[in-house]
Amino acid sequence: MHTSLLATKFHIPHQRVDLVARPRLLEQLDSGLRDGHKLTVVCAPAGYGKTTVVTEWLATRHPNSTDPRARNIWLSLEEADDDVLRFMRYFLTAFRRADQSLGASALPMLEMPGMPPLTSMLDELLNDLATWDAPLLLVLDDYHVISDPQIHQALEYFLDHQPAATHLILTTRANPPLPLARMRARRQLTEIRVRDLRFTADEERAMFGLAKLPLAEDVLRRLDERTEGWAAGLQLAALAIQHQPDPAAFVESFRGSHRYVLDYLAGDVINHQDEETRTFLRQTGFVTRFNAELCNALTGRDDAHLIIARLEQSNLFVIALDDERRWYRYHQLFADYLQSLLLPAERSVLYQRAAIWHEANDLAGEAV
């Protein structure tokens, strides 16, 4: 049965007036189009400015006015869209809203009794796109909410067959289960990740200048060390500094346990994890660095390597410290936050387990 669609999901978000210009990221997005790439993946944890960068680019670097038939198509995804019928209805409608000729034959197929294969619908859409010789960009925002294998398979099929004038952009907190390695090898993929989205010193200076909070260079450097260029952390610090008589002293004490950071990480990150993941994070967040063996010792598990791999795949503020991906650490503010979650009864037990493990592995100097 046909259900009504929410029109605002197709609206490109408005740009903020206090936006820090980030031309280096816009150039990365530009290069994906110039090089004829099929897909751009903008992948990082919550609060790194993924959506903001893409909306800025659409507004400043790919205006529709350059070609009257060029189209920028936007679809904001949410957890309810992790259903193949609902997803396909929104996906096809997004193209139809761009031009009535796109998806005109595919959309009615969703209402047929005994729905045809997804590939049949996509073939109809792809045939429409093959006749569209102007640039067409489709942004799927927050793709990390999608877990249905049928949707991933449909998107992979679409990517494999999309015409040259069509380009897909995904913003996501986690690596999408798409053939990224293959596309990377074929030079079909543009990637913008945490290392790219981290604010540089110049961008941080510009952010605080726009907020009318000019900070001394040494204070900015210390704030950069604390936030590691995390956009949300910088914004939360700026909000708090407005009410501080001594910005330098505040920055020195700025931690993941600050109420603004705590509320953000709880609402946008931790509350979206299952109980197993929350417990693992809480029990491992206090060590300076960790590997699977240490985490097994701390948590009493024997599969920490699987959980660490999942955390890394999900971009849960985990940073690999070596190319072999043996040692990791958490983002500093995230680690501070995790330590604030430790229960008093847990603290002494976990510290003792950490000390025993480090001693047994000739790493006594790192024991907590």
Reported as a single tens digit per residue, the pLDDT across 279-292 is: 999 999 999 999 99
Residues 165, 210: one domain? no
Interhelix angle for 344-360 vs 292-299, to 10°? 140
Q: Is residue 2 part of a domain?
A: no
Q: Are residues 52 and 193 in the same domain?
A: yes
54, part of any domain: yes
Is 214 found in the same domain as 178? no
Of 211, 226, 254, the domain-final residue = 254
Residue 334 lies in a domain: yes
**pLDDT value of residue 184:** 97
Which residues does 108 contact at the CB level (< 8 Å), separation at least 6?
Answer: none
- Structure confidence at residue 239 (pLDDT): 84
DSSP assignment of 76-91:
E--GGG-SHHHHHHHH
Position 3 scores a pLDDT of 65
Residue 110 buriedness (CB in 10 A; 0-12 / 13-18 / 19+): middle
Can you spell out the DSSP letters for 272-313? GS-HHHHHHHHHHTTSSSB-HHHHHHHHS-S-HHHHHHHHHH
Give the separation between CA 170 and CA 180, rounded to whole angstroms. 12
Task: Tell me, yes or no, whether 1 lies in a domain.
Answer: no
318-320/328-330 β-pairing: antiparallel
CA distances in angstroms from 253 to 24, 221, 258, 264, 274, listed in the order given:
31, 14, 9, 18, 31
Q: Are residues 18 and 167 in the same domain?
A: yes
- Residues 88, 123 within the same domain: yes
Domain identity same for 306 and 357: yes
Could you give the CA distance from residue 155 to residue 174 in angstroms, rounded to a whole number?
Answer: 16
Q: Looking at the structure, tell me whether residues 321 and 353 fall in a common domain.
A: yes
Query: Can you give the pLDDT at residue 143?
Result: 98
The number of beta carbons lying within 10 Å of the beta carbon of residue 68 is: 7
CATH of the domain at 300: 1.10.10.10
pLDDT value at residue 365: 64
Quick one: 279 exposed, middle or buried, by C-beta within 10 A (0-12, 13-18, 19+)?
Answer: middle
Residue 12 lies in a domain: yes
pLDDT at residue 1, as a whole number? 47
Q: Looking at the DSSP assignment, which residues form a beta bridge with residue 318? A: 330
Q: Are residues 278 and 358 in the same domain?
A: yes
Residues 6+ apart with CB under 8 A from 311: 277, 280, 281, 318
Do 119 and 39 belong to one domain?
yes
Looking at the structure of the chain, the number of domains it has is: 3
- CA-CA distance, 291 to 324, in Å (whole number)? 11
Q: Give CA separation, 228 vs 23, 221, 333, in Å.
A: 20, 10, 9
| CATH number of the domain to which 26 belongs | 3.40.50.300
Residues of the chain with pLDDT under 50: 1, 64-65
Residues with Cβ < 8 Å from 37, sequence gap 6 or more? Answer: 167, 187, 188, 189, 190
Beta-carbon contacts of 356 under 8 Å, excluding residues fewer than 6 positions away, are 297
Is residue 261 in a domain?
Answer: no
Terminal Cα-to-Cα distance of the chain (whole angstroms):
59
* Residue 260 covered by a domain: no
Predicted pLDDT at 229 = 93
Q: Is residue 11 located within the same domain as residue 129?
A: yes
Q: Is 318 exposed, middle or buried (0-12, 13-18, 19+ CB in 10 A)?
A: buried
Q: What is the DSSP letter of 65?
A: G
Cα 304 to Cα 310: distance, rounded to the nearest angstrom = 10
State pLDDT tens for residues 227-268. 999 999 998 888 888 878 888 888 888 888 888 888 888 888
pLDDT in the model for residue 30: 92
Query: How far is it, in rounded angstroms, from Cα 283 to Cα 277?
Result: 10
- Residue 72's pLDDT is what? 92
Say if residue 304 is in the same domain as residue 351. Answer: yes
In terms of residue numbers, what domain contains 308? Answer: 267-366
324-338: burial string, b at 16+ Cβ within 10 Å, e else = eeeebbbbbbbbbbb
- At 105 the pLDDT is 93
Q: Is residue 286 part of a domain?
A: yes
Separation of alpha carbons 163 and 317, rounded Å: 36
The pLDDT, as a whole number, for residue 153 is: 98
Are 11 and 112 part of one and the same domain? Answer: yes
Cα separation, 91 vs 137, in Å, equals 13
